[in-house]
Amino acid sequence: MIWKYRRTLAIVLLLLIAAASVAYWGNGLTQRDPVDITVIIKSTDASVEFWEVLMDGVQEAAQEFEANVRVTGSRTETDVDEQIALVEQAIQEKPDAIVLAANDYDRLVPIAEKVRNSGIKLIIVDSGINSDAAHSSVATDNVNAGMKAGEVLQSHVEGPAKVAIISYVKNAASQIDREKGARSILDGIPNIDLLDTYYVEGSERNAYLMAKKILRTQQDVVGIIGLNEPTTVGAGRAIQELGLKDKVTLIGFDSSVNEIMLLDEGVMKATVIQRPFQMGYLSIKTAIDAVKRNTVPRTIDTGSLVITKQNMYEEENQKLLFPFVTN
């Protein structure tokens, strides 16, 4: 009887130990070291406010969830080779997760798949890749956002009208989807002649020069869509300098201080804003959940909103237009 009692007691103890182990390891990483995350953004150019706000969201989540986060990025959005090298370096450093805003839809695929095969959790933020390698993607629904831009422009132009789209980097997923969305609205409308898309390599100055050239050589262009912050600001500067704000309708993307000024001055009629703070915050939260082996959504749409001069002063919109940006 005694040996049976002891055997029963031993089994109970083993079960308790097993349950404690499951609780210890299965309850996330609360009893282990902080999660190590490398964040690789498209550009470290501090003049682009979008990335500054997104990084605020990253840092907020890092503090809240006590994660170790390292942020890096290529110098410009066009330097795909540098970004690939940064991802390769991150793989060698073996963080628990990599959060990537891809500079190229196709060229980042092999290195992204290498991340996954290395056992590192991969989270896409802002701009995706042509692969299912990522555990989750946290971004704006850019097709839908592009459709919003097209709809607003359509509402402002009358009669036969030429419209130009100025984009940033030709093979970035976010650009591809925004253009697709805008064209799905504007293509086939009898009174709109939608020109080929103009690419400016992510440069505000190039966007300014391109818009100026378009407006000088094609004086019947009455509408321009800028697909991100630098393209919008550059086109706005050209319209302002040429005195065409009452003739040319500019629809932009994002919500930098310069864009808000263009909106307030009537140079830009509307801008489609994203939620970069939420993107940054949720990318870190999702990375931590993936490392803890919690179920994460394949895609997380952080949303977009059309802001005009008429609604920019509403309280909720003010919170989106003026997020806290650290220096």
Q: How high is the pLDDT of residue 141? A: 97
Specify the residue for token string 């600001």: 233
Q: How much of the chain exceeds pLDDT 70, in percent?
A: 89
Q: What is the pLDDT of residues 25-57, one digit of tens each?
A: 444 444 468 999 999 999 998 888 999 999 999
Tallying the residues shown for the chain, one arrives at 327
Q: What is the pLDDT of residues 182-232, one digit of tens each?
A: 999 999 898 899 998 999 998 999 999 999 999 999 989 999 999 999 999
Q: How high is the pLDDT of residue 11? A: 47
Q: How high is the pLDDT of residue 70? A: 97
Q: How high is the pLDDT of residue 13? A: 45
CA-CA distance, 111 to 108, in Å (whole number)? 6
Choose among 81, 73, 69, 78: nearest CA to 41.
73
Average pLDDT, the chain: 90
Q: How confident is the model at residue 156 (pLDDT cuts 50, 70, 90)?
A: very high
What average pLDDT score do residues 165-176 get?
Answer: 93
| CATH class of domain segment(s) 36-139+276-302 | alpha beta
CATH pick for 142-273 out of 3.40.1350.10, 3.40.630.30, 3.40.50.2300, 2.120.10.30 = 3.40.50.2300
3-state SS track over the chain:
CHHHHHHHHHHHHHHHHHHHHHHHHHCCCCCCCCCEEEEEECCCCCCCHHHHHHHHHHHHHHHHCCCEEEEEECCCCCCHHHHHHHHHHHHHHCCCEEEECCCCCCCCHHHHHHHHHCCCEEEEECCCCCCCCCCEEEECCHHHHHHHHHHHHHHHCCCCEEEEEEECCCCCHHHHHHHHHHHHHHCCCCCEEECCCEECCCCHHHHHHHHHHHHHHCCCEEEEEECCHHHHHHHHHHHHHCCCCCCCEEEEECCCHHHHHHHHCCCCCEEEECCHHHHHHHHHHHHHHHHCCCCCCCEEECCCEEEECCCCCCHHHHHHHCCCCCC
Q: How high is the pLDDT of residue 33? A: 81
> Checking phi first, is residue 243 left (phi over 0); if not, alpha (psi -120 to 50) or beta?
left
Q: Is-contact 252 166, C-beta < 8 A?
A: no
Is 15's pLDDT higher than 60? Answer: no
Q: What is the pLDDT of residues 273-326, one digit of tens each?
A: 999 999 999 999 999 999 999 999 999 999 999 999 999 989 888 888 886 544
CA-CA distance, 56 to 66, in Å (whole number)? 15
Q: How high is the pLDDT of residue 323? A: 67
Q: How much of the chain exceeds pLDDT 90, in percent?
A: 79
Query: What residue segments make up the domains of the chain, in order of their start?
Result: 36-139+276-302, 142-273
* 142-273 and 36-139+276-302 share a CATH fold: yes
Model pTM? 0.86
Q: Is-contact 168 150, C-beta < 8 A?
A: no
Higher pLDDT, 326 or 160: 160
Give the alpha-carbon dihedral of 301, 112, 50, 64, to 10 degrees. 70
Q: Which of 29-43, 117-131, 161-175 has the lowest mean pLDDT?
A: 29-43
